[in-house]
Amino acid sequence: MERTNLSNTVKQLRKEYGLTQEDLAMKSGVGLCFVRNLEQGKATLRMDKVNQLLDLFNYELTATRKS
């Protein structure tokens, strides 16, 4: 799987907050497998779960116009 901006950002935020993948899964209410897939750049993920996880860091996934 190819790492994406999203996967890199999540991994960086998790490390900045001193969280393991297990900690992040538990605190955000998503599964550990979901966190691992997200950080590895899985191409298909549920957007509601991505935002549920990002909410922990006060972020959200939004649509933007391509450049």
pLDDT score, position 37 = 97
Q: At 1, is the pLDDT very low, low, confident or very high (cuts 50, 70, 90)?
A: low
pLDDT score, position 4 = 82
The count of other CB atoms within 10 Å of the CB of residue 39 is 21
Which of 32, 43, 38 is CA-nearest to residue 13?
A: 38
Per residue in 9-44, pLDDT (tens digit) is: 999 999 999 999 999 999 999 999 999 999 999 999
CA dihedral 16, 20, 22, 28 (to 10 degrees): -10
Q: What is the pTM of this model?
A: 0.88
